[in-house]
Amino acid sequence: MDHGALVLIEIGALLLGIALLGRLAARWGISPIPLILLGGLAFGEGGLLPFNSGGEFIEIGAEIGVILLLLMLGLEYTAQELLGNLKGSRTAGLIDMLLNATPGAIFALVMGWGPVAALALAGITWISSSGVIAKLLHDLGRLANRETPVVLSILVIEDLAMAFYLPVLTAVLVGLDLAVGLVTVIVALAAVVLILYVAFRHGHLVSRLVWSKNAEVLLLSVLGITVLVAGLAAQASVSSAVGAFLVGIAISGPVARHAQQLLTPLRDLFASVFFLFFGLSTDPADLVPMLGPAVVLAVITMATKLVTGYYAAGRAGIGEAGRWRAGFALMPRGEFSIVIAGLAVASGIDRSLAALATAYVLITIVAGPLLARLPDTEWFSRFADRRQQRRRSRQRAA
């Protein structure tokens, strides 16, 4: 069969499969993320019917999916709102790092992989997946909830921290000297400061630059500047997701509202491709040996994320139910964790680390969206109400 025709057939079949899984998820009342991931496993490396063509399209589509997810999140908030939430979440960000990086580091040392692997696994368990959580908040209709800005603040703090962590990790992994590693960190820091400055101080100019009454021109302008900034951020060793998010923050007013309407279908399409790509690139056979350790690590660090979100939302004055929703929402790990594992294995660290990271991420991505629905159940709402009443009683007694 002609290669071009085969690529079209396989991509079309995969997209149709995503649609069927989405319909099935809607009927069951759950997020489609776990089903799309499992579908990707079935048709990826080592699956029932391996997907052989169109890999480059799916990979690029996955990257665009993460960019659009974070852009759309940024469009929901103004620069002032983000700055206020970041200031109020600094302590929560530090606690997030301590609670979630420490188990990964200890786990690597227990497995006998050494201190460098401990540094890598600490990052894998620390960083939540901005892309997965953005999709999850949208699927559950929580973008307007009071706890959502708290969740986003922690995600932004984590993503900004990656601008420092990834260059340091890379320098350690490849054995660069201190001076080279320091230069890399300084370049990343300068890029972050520049993007933040433009977003906070000159957002109105960005909005004016992309605005057009013509829907096609507006769509291309917003999409073009977002992908451009995301690419430049990635080139400067900063997360492309951070770049896309800050572009969304910089765009405000009527421009943001019109852009949201135009980009929503694209966001949904490429977000699904992102989750599909993760499943397609995973060989189920590689997961089996490390499945037990991955389950143990996932249980521990999903619990620590729950504590992180609950504490951060509590500091922000959010009610009992919102605190639990924030904690459950932070559980999934994703794109950053896989990137870190890839860097570690490429440097010669035990390949078991990659298998553990893949199984770990897959468990959190599947379990996270399912557990995130718990606060919406009737019995959990009663539980949260009782805790809220007891807290108020203690406050009155004090």
Q: How confident is the model at residue 139 (pLDDT cuts 50, 70, 90)?
A: confident
Q: What end-to-end distance do the CA atoms of the chain give, in Å?
A: 77
Question: Would you say 162 and 239 are in contact if contact means Cβ atoms under 8 Å apart?
Answer: yes
Query: Would you say residue 176 has pLDDT above 70?
Result: no
Q: What is the DSSP letter of 214?
A: S
Choice among 135-149, 150-164, 221-235 with the minimum mean pLDDT: 150-164
Question: Would you say 384 and 375 are in contact if contact means Cβ atoms under 8 Å apart?
Answer: yes
Q: How confident is the model at residue 52 (pLDDT cuts 50, 70, 90)?
A: low
Query: Would you say residue 46 has pLDDT above 70?
Result: no
Query: Would you say residue 208 has pLDDT above 80?
Result: yes
The predicted structure's pLDDT at residue 153 = 86
Quote the tokens at residue 317: 């004055």
Q: Domains of the chain (ranges plus CATH)?
A: 3-397 (1.20.1530.20)
Q: Is 142 exposed, middle or buried (0-12, 13-18, 19+ CB in 10 A)?
A: buried
Tracing tokens 């499943």 back to the chain, one arrives at: 279
Average pLDDT on 158-163 reads 76
Distances, alpha carbon 235 to alpha carbons 45, 239, 336, in Å: 29, 9, 16
Average pLDDT on 308-335 reads 90
Question: Would you say 388 and 348 are in contact if contact means Cβ atoms under 8 Å apart?
Answer: no
Q: Give pTM, 2 decimals.
A: 0.75
Q: Mean pLDDT of all residues in the chain?
A: 82
Q: What is the pLDDT of residues 328-351, one digit of tens each?
A: 999 998 777 877 887 777 777 777
